[in-house]
Amino acid sequence: MVRNPMGSHSVPLYVADKAKQFMRTSAEVSLNFDVMANPLMVVAIDFGTTYSGYAFSTRSDFFREPLKIHANQAWNSGKKQLLSLKTPTCLLLGKNKETVAFGYEAEDAYAELVLDNKHKNYYYFDKFKMRLYENKDVNCEMEIADIVGKKMLATEVFGKSIKALSDHFVDLLKTEGASIEWSEIQWVLTVPAIWSDKAKQFMRTSAEVADIQGGNLLIALEPEAASIYCQYLPNEKLTGKDNSVNLGDDGVIYMIVDLGGGTADLTVHEKHKDGSIKELCRANGEDCGGTSVDAAFIRLFDKISGFAMINKLKKDDPSSYLDLTREFETVKRKIDSSSTGKVNFCIPLSTINSICKKQKRCELEELIQKSSFKNKILIRGDKIRIDADLIKSLFAKPIEKITALVKEMNTQLKATDIPLIVMVGGFSECKLIQSALKQAFPQKRVIVPEDAGISVLKGAVLYGHHPEFIASRVIRYSYGTDSYVDFDPFVHDASRKEIMQGKEKCEVFDFIIHQHTQAVIGSEIQRSYFTMYPFQTAMPITLYVSTNENPKYVDEEGCSKFGEVVVDIPHPSEENRTVIVNYNFGKTELTVSAREVKFGSSCRTRIKLL
């Protein structure tokens, strides 16, 4: 049972952070903000590719017992009656785009609607978080399609999903007889560290749909949150740990391998004497999470049948599809390197046979016998029996990618010894993945913390109480503006030469900060800008990001527009005005503030995502 979270909150919160602030329009983010200084409660939402959930703790609990973090225990997976700390990331909306259900309830409700042929006026979205990773041009106007191709604004879909989780939390508090003001809650939303700044700002925009905005919201990076959680765990809670190196020792260096449903997200941390954490290299990752094994499973059946069989099952009979995917999820968690013989699990054979007859005029068993898998797969009753080695082969690609990512991180820090690999995230609980990393890196100790699947969620709660836990971060991209300089034939490409007011000029990438730079939290980079005409009311500054460490031009490969910082000029006048703009890269999101020099006035700043 969840304790009344309002029981005691007399201990003052010593952490005060500036934060990120709130949306004026769907395309503008204000950058003048103040975070809440003393939240009575922190609520973290881990919005995952496959599963999502929330957890919370009070300020007083954080000081007395930091790991006293409450997570909802009652997500129920329908027919299978499985209780879970998370629920599937899927959303069901009505014909007027109102929320009908989220999570397991949405899965089961949509399945019933399809069986009754009443689903056509509904919208059903699932596993949609990866759209932000796949789409390199994230913006507030982008749309995503539901299961049958009907489109909606992505911010609405994400926002309504976040609201479903926040509403569930509020209902839980009401059930427990608790009472707390919305303004007294610090919300924390998790995102992968490898996401772009645009994707992070997109999530902030989406949170506004759930009435979570401004200083009430912190963005936490998933591997960082997990790292913080592991710092609080005692040694006995860290599987694979021995006494030679302690995760909490001063100066200890360790790699966080966060394996979620969609992505693998890696970073390397060093523990400081003051208890804070320093990031040693920029986060890296790829789309090789648990869903990549699901995709391999689907391809296996497609290869056997000769058509998109599982996708057809999903559209024609979602209930049977859910039964199949839930069965396979159990298989994924149980399989390990020592598994031999056959792996047995139930399948909706009657429905699959019906689909196969319509498409291929024969049943699944006959299709198997005609395939190259006839000696590896058997049908017995309503069960399918698959060779353990064939099941293991479905993990081959993601294991290969994850191993390559770990090697790449080691290469980035080749002069640094990284003795520990800490595996977190739901996919890290897979024994097969654990064994693969131990075999690939025998000289390193692989640690799997207790509750690895919710380590990000619980760590995000801790981060909400103490955002300064991460003392510095490594910049993932180069940031700059466009600027015209004198053309130099020894430096600039001849094709770049422009004649401006009779002078040879060249447009270049004007650096604000270079990729791989160590950015300390609270540190700022200043730039001076000048108004261009009398009574100018606002100053637009176009920001560019580049995946290259030293880009020369703003339109070269790897370089793109991030957004336009707009600085309002207080008391516009005829004379030229100078504005000092401060860029802060040390937090989980880029923040910008500005000051007008003549009067010393603070300027309202906002960013338009491009």
**Segment 542-558, tens digit of pLDDT:** 999 999 999 999 999 99
Domains 23-233+453-466 and 475-609 share a fold: no
Q: How far apart are CA 107 and CA 126, in angstroms?
A: 9
What's residue 14's pLDDT? 24
Nearest to 582 by CA among 175, 49, 18, 106: 18
What's residue 138's pLDDT? 83
What's residue 8's pLDDT? 31
How many H-runs (helices) and E-runs (strands) does the chain carry?
15, 36
Q: How far apart are CA 54 and CA 582, in angstroms?
A: 34
Tokens at 227, concatenated: 């790292």
- What is the DSSP secondary structure assignment for residue 92, as one 8-state letter? E
CATH architecture assignment, domain 23-233+453-466? 2-Layer Sandwich (3.30)
What's residue 132's pLDDT? 85
Q: Long-range contacts: 370-375, Cβ < 8 Å, 24+?
A: 371/303, 371/304, 373/300, 373/303, 373/304
Tokens at 372, concatenated: 């190259």
What stretch of H or E contains 603?
A: strand 602-603
Q: Torsions phi, psi of 156, nearest 5?
A: -70, -45
What's residue 596's pLDDT? 94
Q: Order across the sheet with 277-286: list the strands.
A: 238-239, 445-449, 420-424, 253-259, 264-271, 277-286, 470-474, 518-520
Parallel/antiparallel/unpaired status of strands 185-191 and 41-47: parallel
What's residue 70's pLDDT? 93
Query: Domain 475-609 carries which CATH code?
Result: 2.60.34
Q: How far is CA 288 from CA 144, 222, 245, 292, 378, in A?
A: 22, 16, 29, 6, 29
What's residue 165's pLDDT? 96
What's residue 180's pLDDT? 86
Q: How far apart are CA 413 and CA 415, in angstroms?
A: 5
Nearest to 578 by CA among 606, 601, 545: 601
Parallel/antiparallel/unpaired status of strands 28-30 and 23-25: antiparallel
Is-above-0.75 flag for pTM? yes
515 half-sphere exposure, CB direction, 13 A CA radius: 15
Q: Pick out the chain residues at pLDDT < 50.
A: 1-27, 32
DSSP class per residue in 15-73: --------EEETTEEE------SS-SEEEEEEE-SSEEEEEEEEHHHHHH-TT--EE--
**Domain spans, the chain:** 23-233+453-466, 290-393, 475-609
Give 287-332 pLDDT, tens digit per residue: 999 999 999 999 999 999 999 999 999 888 988 998 898 899 889 8
